Structure 1
Amino acid sequence: MSSNNTTRETRMSRNAERTPGPKKPRRNGWRLFRRILFIVVAVVVLGLLAGAGLFFYYAQSAPKVTQGALSSDTSTRVYDAKGNIISRLGAQNRSYVKSDNIPATLKKAVVSTEDRRFYKNDGVDPIRILGAAFANVSGSSLGMQGGSTLTQQLVKLSVFSTAASDRTLKRKAQEAWLALKVDHEYSKDQILEYYVNKVYMGNGVYGMETAAEYYYGTSLKKLGLPQLALLAGMPQSPTNYDPTTYPQYAKKRRDLVLSAMAKNNVITSAQATQAQATSIKAGLAKTHKTSGTSAKTTKVIDAYLKQVYAELKSKGYNTTTGGLKVHTNLDLDAQKKLYDIANGSSYISYPSSKFQVGSTIVEPNSGKVVAMLGGRKTGKVTFGLNRAVQTDRSSASTAKPLMDYGPAIEYLNYPTYEPVKDSAFTYPGTDKNLYDWDRQYQGTITMRKALYESRNIPAVRTLQNVGISKATDFLKGLGMSFDKTLTLQNGIGLYISTEQEAAAYAAFANGGTYYKPYLVSRVVTQDGKSHNYASTGKKAMSAATAFMITDMMKDVITNDNGSGTAAEISGLYQAGKTGTDSYPDDYADQVPDGATMDSWFTGYTKNYAVSVWTGYDKQFQAGHYVSESDTKIAQQIYKYEMSYLATKTTNSDWTAPSTVTETTQNNQKEYYVTGHPGTVGDTTATSQYGSTNTTSSSAYSSNNQVTTNSSSSHASTTESSSSKESANTEQKPSGGTGNDNNTNSTDTSSATTNKDDNS
């Protein structure tokens, strides 16, 4: 009895000990942990599934990778207008080497440098990716470790662009997918062979066999460990690791490769140390082996090619590793003719080998640049100064149709016989006088005569009437823009290139439409996509303006007093303008009378516009002036080139549009904008001494008045012309574009004299 009671009491006591106090939270904490873990795992799984889904989505749109793409070079091939290859940038020196002829040492160096697990991975290496991330963060990679396998690098070089802008998630996914396929379809030896032959090695060289020939003058099989280690490390930055240009960087890179090889146990530490002690210049060739496009052809097209690559770059193309097929507008025969005229002795007698030329040829109805010459006697320089596109030399009087007379017809409806005043002129707001080359005045003459004799004062007075703003608008329509506000001085000299001027004059040739000049017509990228390029014409002036300017510029060449008679080609319908830029007065006494800094001729037919600049690069150096007789060389170059071009096309004259009316003045055929004939004034030309100029074929009396019903006809008496010429006086000469080589700035001279040879 007592025993049972004791048992019950003991149980009650134990139960009492269990019930008091709160429950322990151990079980609830475990449940919370499991829930969090489940959520984390779920998120990770969902992330992996989403990532896998995105990966395969991108993979579906991946381009195809063929054996041809893997084994071919990634050079840029350039073709002329006929489809003939004229250059292979990066492929000139390429020699393919089979796997059996690739030294085992080079293979070990490449693998140690680019992908230590190359023979173990399947084209994509997750361990390498994680290792690269850790190594790059910790700084222990010695610059050798990257996330992409060697196979991925091969795919990138074969299929994709290497531009930084293309390093997107989509591109990386496609790259990885294709790397897996390549690794599955090709052996490791094949993949390594393709890589060794494809990588860019600097100086236009592709492939390590070609690099061995270029840098060392021999084949890979004959190179030692130090040289092979350098070649294996160069693809990361071929320009910076060029041993001939940056030996200090090249040595550092080579030594890192040797250290990586030792770490990978493919060479001993002793071998690495010995190779690192070898001079980086040991075995380098003094001359570099080249092949491919002939040296002669390369020199002929040098300036054109340079501009092609500039155009490609502006469009965002990679010309070194893009694998592009570039079709251009180059007429190789016209290019060769232009080159021969400038560099040969059978056409023109040049004053010296330093006398320079820049020229551009444009098709008026498309804007296609068919030829371009950047200089003459340039020696072994490749991609040197392209004088055809330089804009730091004054175009002198070739600016007059563009800035003065073209706008006068377009905005003021000047007829070709508009009376213009050739009399004493001082730039408004200054004490600076403007003179013509002969320092004489002809009084009131026609606009036609002022243009073909290239008189400066009438041109600047005409620009005053037009106004700088309107003239600038006219130039803008012809593709020209300027950093500084133009001035009256720019009416007799613009800082533009032969390419710009040829394209602008082409608008006169085709009836008033401007086409932006271009060299590249089509680009085929490595994925086979074709991108076509053309210039869209924009109306820059009326057909009347284009025709009337052309008709006046015919006389520049055909009139006995024209400034461009040396450019005349018998029977050819053509027009053009001369331009010569005199030295500033404070330097004029250091050169002979009549000497100039620059001489231009820009002319055209209905089929071609040709602009030519001649002069010296250093025009203020002793003896570097264009003599009076040599100012005609620009015209002669034009004449010989245009004579050749004329044989390739039909010869037809321009037809007056319906907006132009023909009239006769003093036995001279003249034109006016229909409805705006103007009133004929007294344009009998007289010199500053008051004598009558009897040589003026376009001088006529005030009795030859044109009858018109237009209420807006021009008053063209001497008095009203004088009033118009002084209407715009707010512009002050200041050098225009900031180059003081044209005419004279206000603080260095009291005279401006652009001389065109027309005596």
Structure 2
Amino acid sequence: MSRNAERNPSPTGKSGGPKRPRNGWRTFRRVLFVIVAIGVLGILFGAGLFFFYAQSAPKISQSALSSDASTRVYDANGAVISRLGAQNRSYVKSSNIPDGLKQAVVSTEDRRFYKNNGVDPIRIVGAALANVTGSSLGMQGGSTLTQQLVKLSVFSTAASDRTLKRKAQEAWLALKVDHNYSKDQILEYYINKVYMGNGVYGMQTAAQYYYGKNLNSLDLSQLAMLAGMPQSPTNYDPTTYPALAKKRRDLVLDAMAKNNAITSAQAAQAKATSIKAGLSKTHKSTAVASAKTTKVIDAYLKQVYAELKSKGYNTTTGGLKVYTNLDMGAQKKLYNIVNGSSYVNFPSSKFQVGSTIVDPNNGKVVAMIGGRKTGNVTFGLNRAVQTDRSSASTAKPLMDYGPAIEYLKYPTYEPVKDTAFTYPGTTKNLYDWDRQYQGTITMRKALYESRNIPAIRTLQNVGIKKATTFLDGLGMSFDKTLTLQNGIGLYISTEQEAAAYAAFANGGTYYKPYLVSKIVTQDGKAHNYASTGKRAMSAATAFMLTDMMKDVMTNENGSGRSAAISGLYQAGKTGTDSYPDDYADKVPDGATMDSWFTGYTKNYAVSVWTGYDKQFQAGHYVSETQTTIAQEIYKYTMSYLATKSTNTDWTKPSTVTQTSQNGKTEYYVTGHPGTVTDATATSPYGSTNTTSSSVYSSNGQVTTNSSSSKTESSTTESSTSKESSSTEQTPGGNNGNDDNDTTTNSSSTNTSSATTTKNKDDNKD
């Protein structure tokens, strides 16, 4: 046998064996090479991108590192009106920080703090694995303590700013901070900067707030409590959520033991201590503005912070500069009017007010009051934005007459019927404030005298669908489908109503109301905010409504004469909401739950609500004479505002034609004059004589002019409180669904018990 045969035995007897899989090996090497090449290129690209982003990183100074991270709020003139907690921060030097607290913070936030260079690749990988496996127990994050300090010092905390570029810059600055400052300095800055809940910044201030002591007087359990709070200051507040706070404190103690900062026995002993041990019973709030302005701007500030939160900003750790639309002069004036005794005679200290002032030309909220006699509260109840009280007859221009002009082209002299009315499909009767009928009168008269029945009949003709569309254009949306009764009462706030009436003032453009005009984040980036105007109605509708609402204050029978200001071009509407029938016998005749006035000039729109928080408590009613208080607040407020602006009248647009009806100046949408006879022949307060004549409205509807004496009924009175204080009902037939329906009575699938509705709106001087 040959050597070759011995080396390569073959079962076939032939020389040579099976060949090696050289093609497969070559493929593997090629794939491996490609993977390595991609990896190298990826690293090079990542490094290049990192240094590219790093070049544009903001500068970081010792001042930025040591300063508080509070939010500063400015008024429209750039003056600081609030520094959230900043002025009460107690800065503590490293030498006065207990070693136990330092060890607790390091063990919790960054175990390799003394070994890393500001960025910890091992920590990043470990955090990723821990998050995947769920083994971190909330103690492991990717950012080092130095990175957290950088983030709190120079970067925005808004969710929209959490980008790859920002993370790269954060890491780069962390490397620089670690190089330029000692570990003790970095730890000192961090301990003094973090937010600790309740408007408190820094752990020394937190020790004083929660325990009434300095840091060096706290025990291990208390130090561990403070060290664990920055991750979620609200949830780990020991006074509010003791169970969550204890769980977090115990995790910190476990981390300290694992890091050999304390023994297991020490950790166990500290865990056995009650989480409430040593807590102070009283706390001095630090979330305040200056003492002189706190109570004056409380409601405005509360709404500012709500607006910031809705935009995704963190007001506690963001270090924001917030520029608002606040006119401090108007704010102080409004505050003095509702809290002093020089302007209005209030019945008691519990009588409340909510009010908003809006600039009609841009939607800026320039002042806001959320209550009166509230003391030096920080963010108390803001009644200016509450939506659980009926706006009563201030809803009529918004839901009834505005849509009638816009969609049905009603002229200001449109004949409307003030005759006996029963809600379709029910036995529920509707009455006016005086329980009288005036027969057929003009729409103008129905508005300035605030007659309920003509308003609801007008809404019937418009239809709920179109009325809702009109309201939507004015920024109002509702969870439930509106009904006819909402035509004399909407559940909206003074902020919403001021903004809606502002659209009448500026010629038909709606601006969403807003308080914040600019936000500057810690990285110096400015974010500007403004409201974009949207056409809500024609210029004709706005002008004609305004002209009719002038009479509310100037006509001898107008419902808002107490709001009249001599020589000032203004318009507005009153609103009062009576008690429901099951409570009416417990209050004097004429008493109401709520009283409103919303008015405007070309420069300002002011909405005022008055009433009691607990309107069903004994004595908490608005008497008939007190219903004018809302008008008086408006009058004194607008008188002040008028000194800050020009007094100009509204100009008739070309789409409106002026005419004379019954010896009075009236208006109609050009091309839609309608046909009218004398619609004001009856007595202003409901003559017992009956007259009749055919009257043709602008949409061709034939009505009958008839007046009659007061109709007697055995049913009780009810009010238009929420959903009109009655069983929710949808008008029968096509009413409320068919926009072209002009009938006044039809059947309904939903009925309610026999009641009457009487909105005592509005009492005249």
How does the TM-score come out when normalised to structure 2? 0.86
Aligned to 2:714: none
Show CA shifts across 1:49-72 (max 9, x none).
413422430442242241243333
Aligned to 2:35: 43
Aligned to 2:745: none
Aligned to 1:64: 58
> Where in structure 2 are the equivalents of 1:251-650 lying within 5 Å?
251-290=246-285, 293-379=289-375, 381-650=377-646
| Amino acid in structure 1 at the alignment position of 2:280 | A
Following TM superposition, by how much is the alpha carbon of 1:357 offset from its aligned partner in structure 2, in angstroms?
A: 1.6
Q: Which has the larger radius of gyration?
A: 1
Question: Pick from 71, 75, 81: which aligns with 1:80?
Answer: 75
Q: Give yes or no for the alignment of 1:757 onto 2:755.
A: no
Aligned to 1:220: 215
Aligned to 1:185: 180
Structure 1 alignment gaps of length 5 or more = 1-11, 694-700, 706-710, 723-733
What is the CA–CA distance in structure 1 between the aligned matches of 2:130 and 2:397, rounded to whole Å? 67
Show CA shifts across 1:220-271 (max 9, x none).
2333333222222211221222122222332332233233333333334444
Change (3 A) 1:158 1:56: farther
Following TM superposition, by how much is the alpha carbon of 1:289 offset from its aligned partner in structure 2, in angstroms?
A: 3.4
| Amino acid in structure 1 at the alignment position of 2:311 | K
Describe the SS at the equivalent of 1:301: helix
What is the CA–CA distance in structure 1 between the aligned matches of 2:383 and 2:518, rounded to whole Å? 25
Aligned to 1:684: 681
Following TM superposition, by how much is the alpha carbon of 1:381 offset from its aligned partner in structure 2, in angstroms?
A: 5.0
Following TM superposition, by how much is the alpha carbon of 1:295 offset from its aligned partner in structure 2, in angstroms?
A: 4.1
| Amino acid in structure 2 at the alignment position of 1:753 | K
| Amino acid in structure 2 at the alignment position of 1:57 | L
Question: Pick from 195, 199, 220: which aligns with 2:194?
Answer: 199
Describe the SS at the equivalent of 1:420: strand
Q: Comparing 442-451 with 678-687, which one deviates more in the overlay?
A: 678-687
Aligned to 1:18: 7
Aligned to 1:248: 243
What is the CA–CA distance in structure 1 between the aligned matches of 2:393 and 2:697, rounded to whole Å? 30
Aligned to 2:120: 125
Change (3 A) 1:123 1:225: same
Would you say the 8 A contact 2:502–2:600 is kept in 1? yes
Describe the SS at the equivalent of 2:373: coil
What is the CA–CA distance in structure 2 between the aligned matches of 1:689 and 1:587, rounded to whole Å? 31
Describe the SS at the equivalent of 1:434: strand
Q: Comparing 495-504 with 228-237, which one deviates more in the overlay?
A: 228-237
Describe the SS at the equivalent of 2:227: helix
What is the CA–CA distance in structure 1 between the aligned matches of 2:396 and 2:103, rounded to whole Å? 68
Would you say the 8 A contact 1:596–1:628 is kept in 2? yes
| Amino acid in structure 2 at the alignment position of 1:747 | S
Following TM superposition, by how much is the alpha carbon of 1:324 offset from its aligned partner in structure 2, in angstroms?
A: 1.7
Aligned to 1:8: none
What is the CA–CA distance in structure 2 between the aligned matches of 1:135 and 1:370, rounded to whole Å? 50
Would you say the 8 A contact 1:744–1:752 is kept in 2? no
Describe the SS at the equivalent of 2:294: helix
Aligned to 1:739: 723
Aligned to 2:144: 149
What is the CA–CA distance in structure 1 between the aligned matches of 2:721 and 2:590, rounded to whole Å? 25
Would you say the 8 A contact 2:596–2:610 is kept in 1? yes
Following TM superposition, by how much is the alpha carbon of 1:194 offset from its aligned partner in structure 2, in angstroms?
A: 1.9
Would you say the 8 A contact 1:93–1:289 is kept in 2? no
Change (3 A) 1:139 1:324: closer
Describe the SS at the equivalent of 1:655: coil
Aligned to 2:101: 106
What is the CA–CA distance in structure 2 between the aligned matches of 1:342 and 1:214, rounded to whole Å? 33
Q: Comparing 348-357 with 605-614, which one deviates more in the overlay?
A: 348-357
Show CA shifts across 1:467-512 (max 9, x none).
3333223222222222333222222112221111111111111222
Structure 2 alignment gaps of length 5 or more = 708-717, 730-750
Show CA shifts across 1:394-431 (max 9, x none).
21111111222222223333332222221112222222
Change (3 A) 1:542 1:75: same
How does the TM-score come out when normalised to structure 1? 0.87
Following TM superposition, by how much is the alpha carbon of 1:602 offset from its aligned partner in structure 2, in angstroms?
A: 0.5
Would you say the 8 A contact 2:592–2:624 is kept in 1? yes
Following TM superposition, by how much is the alpha carbon of 1:720 offset from its aligned partner in structure 2, in angstroms?
A: 8.9
Describe the SS at the equivalent of 1:399: helix
| Amino acid in structure 1 at the alignment position of 2:60 | T
Q: CA-atom RMSD, angstroms?
A: 3.4
Change (3 A) 1:129 1:464: closer
Show CA shifts across 1:192-224 (max 9, x none).
122112211111212212212222233323333
Following TM superposition, by how much is the alpha carbon of 1:571 offset from its aligned partner in structure 2, in angstroms?
A: 2.3
